[in-house]
């Protein structure tokens, strides 16, 4: 910052107090010093920000303070929120793993990429025709790393190193797609669950003892990545395998909470967040690094005491808010006020264009669905969400839309699975199919989607129906291939 205001102020004061030669010389010395201060102190060119995205698997909205009040401590996530902003209305467009991750990394809806649901072993996954955030940032000079669950395809052309990541480690898909699956072990046992580092398989097959180390290994790789790349802008993506079932934590956290395995796992994730924060601080990167903390979808409540918590209706695998609304904390000390909270709605498809804007990176040549929402994230008072609507789907079914401001949510008539009996200790529960008719919910006054107000607000409903039809025509008229 040039200190011209300070210089002018000082000049006025200086001139008014010149009475003697000694005063005059003293004043001149002060004036010259101030001039020197103003003219040699050139503005620093700020490096492009670093980005760290911690994306949990199946963590519920209320699993961490300050979103919920879990009985286990989560001091590091809480501290992240105190140093940044908590976003109460953050959405993912589909509450299932691969679809949610494809949307985060491409800025496009599942209906657009045609990545629906959860990809199984040997899936081709996300079409290379779609650019990923890592590719776009890498083109801008960023170093990129992903340490965690990939789940966007495990074929040669769809693995992380082929999709814009310089470094990678972890699992290619969900940690329950293995021979120990409680219901489908024989099926998933056909393909060994493997642990990869860069382009090599390091552990084949992954066993329970290996799963207990996943959170630790992902964290160690993340810290090493930060330490080695502190001098260049980087994009670090940490999509933890936990707390997706089967739950595992290392010996250092086993039994630590005294509240069961889920709580132990969450304490270890909290530890991981603390380690990343410390590494940024130690390397002097904290101020210019944006850390985003969220989850790919809501809790998998089928697993009862092995699932997280949400305040909202239903959970993972539905388009109700229990599935699609995730906790979200963004910390970026240089630009975002600490200890703030925002009710502005936005969606994971907006992350790519926003980060590209901050990095000065180009967007893909085709039109993406997300928009740059930096003003909204930065808390600018006049900021408004640029979307008319956000769309939600479950697998290949387009089910609902919400107005861009997050106020009105319209469910198209659709069936959904609702839990009738939760499982325990790693065993799934029982679902039954329910049906919702065309329904409008006022999310400000009814965030739990309980009271259908379509008769009171027919025009709101008609407008959202019109937008839903547009979305359907655009992305669901032909499911056979991606529509760039
Ligand atoms: Ca998930």
DSSP code for 22: H
- Please name every residue paired with 329 in a beta bridge, in sequence order, or none if there are none: 86, 293
List all residues 6 or more positions away from 20 whose beta carbon is below 8 Å from its beta carbon.
none
Give the Å distance between the CA of 217 and the centre of ligand 1.
20
pTM reported for the whole predicted model: 0.90
Give the Å distance between the CA of 137 and the centre of ligand 1.
25
- At 435 the pLDDT is 98
Dmax over CA atoms of the chain, in Å, equals 97
Give the Å distance between the CA of 259 and the centre of ligand 1.
23
pLDDT category, 360, cuts 50, 70, 90?
very high
Give the Å distance between the CA of 97 and the centre of ligand 1.
4
Give the Å distance between the CA of 421 and the centre of ligand 1.
20
Chain segment 440-474, per-residue pLDDT in tens: 999 999 999 999 999 999 999 999 999 999 999 99
Give the Å distance between the CA of 241 and the centre of ligand 1.
9
Q: Looking at the domain that runs over 392-475, which CATH code has it been given?
A: 3.30.1120
Give me the mean pLDDT over the 152-168 stretch.
Answer: 98
Give the Å distance between the CA of 316 and the centre of ligand 1.
8
Give the Å distance between the CA of 419 and the centre of ligand 1.
17
Chain segment 46-80, per-residue pLDDT in tens: 789 999 999 999 999 999 999 999 999 999 999 99
CA atoms within 13 A on the CB side of 358: 27
Give the Å distance between the CA of 215 and the centre of ligand 1.
16
Q: Which residue has the tokens 């004061």?
A: 13
Give the Å distance between the CA of 96 and the centre of ligand 1.
5
Q: What percent of the chain has pLDDT over 90?
A: 89
- At 23 the pLDDT is 47
List all residues 6 or more positions away from 40 whose beta carbon is below 8 Å from its beta carbon.
none
- At 19 the pLDDT is 42
Quote the distance between the C-alpha of residue 149 and its chain's center: 14
Q: What is the CA radius of gyration of the chain?
A: 25
Give the Å distance between the CA of 244 and the centre of ligand 1.
7
Q: 50-387: what CATH class?
A: alpha beta
Give the Å distance between the CA of 58 and the centre of ligand 1.
4
Give the Å distance between the CA of 340 and the centre of ligand 1.
27
Chain segment 231-260, per-residue pLDDT in tens: 999 999 999 999 999 999 999 999 999 999
Q: Which residue has the tokens 């699992």?
A: 171
Give the Å distance between the CA of 242 and the centre of ligand 1.
9
pLDDT, averaged across the chain? 92
Give the Å distance between the CA of 87 and the centre of ligand 1.
20
> Is the Cα torsion angle 364, 96, 171, 275 positive or negative in sign?
positive
pLDDT category, 30, cuts 50, 70, 90?
very low
Give the Å distance between the CA of 57 and the centre of ligand 1.
4
Give the Å distance between the CA of 50 and the centre of ligand 1.
25
Give the Å distance between the CA of 166 and the centre of ligand 1.
24
- At 131 the pLDDT is 98
- Nearest Cα to 265, choosing from 300, 227, 215, 224? 215
- Please name every residue paired with 330 in a beta bridge, in sequence order, or none if there are none: 85, 292
pLDDT category, 29, cuts 50, 70, 90?
very low
Give the Å distance between the CA of 124 and the centre of ligand 1.
19
Distance (Å, whole) CA 31 – CA 25? 10
pLDDT category, 482, cuts 50, 70, 90?
low
- For 375-458, where are the E strands, in sequence order? 389-394, 397-403, 408-411, 414-421, 430-436, 439-442
Give the Å distance between the CA of 342 and the centre of ligand 1.
24
Tell me the C-alpha to C-alpha distance, in Å, between residue 150 and each of 81, 89, 103, 111.
26, 25, 13, 20
Q: Domain locations in the chain?
A: 50-387, 392-475
Distance (Å, whole) CA 252 – CA 171? 22
Distance (Å, whole) CA 107 – CA 71? 35
Residue 483 has pLDDT above 70, yes or no: no
Give me the mean pLDDT over the 2-23 stretch.
Answer: 38
Give the Å distance between the CA of 31 and the centre of ligand 1.
63
């Amino acid at each position: 910052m040039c200190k011209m205001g300070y210089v002018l102020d000082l000049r006025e004061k200086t001139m008014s107090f010149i009475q003697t030669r000694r005063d005059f010389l003293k004043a001149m010395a002060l004036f010259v010093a101030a001039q020197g201060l103003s003219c040699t102190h050139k503005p620093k060119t700020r490096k492009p920000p670093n980005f760290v995205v911690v994306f949990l698997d199946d963590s519920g909205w209320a699993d961490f303070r300050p979103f919920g009040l879990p009985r286990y401590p989560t001091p590091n996530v809480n501290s992240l929120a105190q140093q940044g902003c908590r976003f109460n209305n953050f959405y993912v467009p589909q509450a299932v793993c691969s679809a949610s991750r494809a949307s985060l990394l491409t800025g496009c809806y599942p209906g657009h990429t045609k990545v629906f649901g959860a990809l199984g072993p040997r899936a081709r996954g996300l079409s290379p025709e779609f650019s990923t955030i890592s590719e776009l940032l890498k083109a801008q000079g960023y170093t990129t790393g992903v340490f965690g669950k990939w789940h966007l395809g495990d074929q040669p052309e769809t693995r992380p190193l082929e999709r814009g990541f310089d470094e990678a480690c972890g699992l290619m898909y969900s940690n329950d797609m293995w021979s120990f699956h409680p219901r489908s072990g024989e099926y998933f046992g056909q393909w060994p669950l493997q642990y990869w580092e860069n382009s090599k398989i390091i552990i084949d097959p992954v066993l329970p003892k290996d799963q207990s180390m996943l959170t630790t290994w992902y964290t160690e790789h993340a810290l090493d990545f930060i330490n080695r790349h502190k001098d260049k802008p980087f994009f670090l993506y940490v999509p933890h395998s936990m707390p997706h079932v089967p739950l595992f934590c290392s010996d250092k956290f086993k039994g630590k909470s005294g509240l069961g395995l889920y709580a132990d796992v969450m304490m270890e994730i909290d530890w991981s967040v603390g380690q990343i924060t410390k590494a940024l601080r130690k390397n002097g990167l904290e101020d210019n690094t944006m850390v985003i903390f969220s989850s790919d979808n809501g809790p998998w409540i089928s697993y009862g005491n092995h699932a997280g918590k949400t305040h909202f209706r239903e959970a993972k695998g539905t388009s109700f808010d229990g599935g699609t609304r995730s906790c979200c904390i963004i910390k970026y000390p240089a630009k975002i006020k600490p200890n703030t909270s925002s009710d502005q709605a936005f969606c994971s498809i907006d992350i790519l264009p926003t980060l590209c804007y901050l990095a000065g990176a180009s967007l893909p040549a085709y039109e993406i669905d997300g928009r740059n929402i930096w003003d909204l994230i930065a808390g600018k008072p006049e900021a408004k969400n640029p979307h008319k609507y956000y769309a939600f789907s479950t697998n290949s079914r387009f089910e609902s839309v919400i107005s861009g401001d997050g106020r009105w949510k319209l469910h198209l008539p659709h069936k959904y699975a609702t839990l009738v009996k939760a499982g325990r200790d790693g065993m799934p529960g029982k679902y039954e199919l329910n049906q919702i008719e065309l329904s409008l919910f006022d999310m400000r006054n009814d965030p739990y989607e309980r009271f259908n107000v379509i008769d009171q607000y027919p025009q709101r409903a008609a407008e959202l129906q019109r937008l839903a039809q547009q979305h359907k025509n655009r992305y669901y008229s032909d499911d056979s291939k991606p529509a760039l």
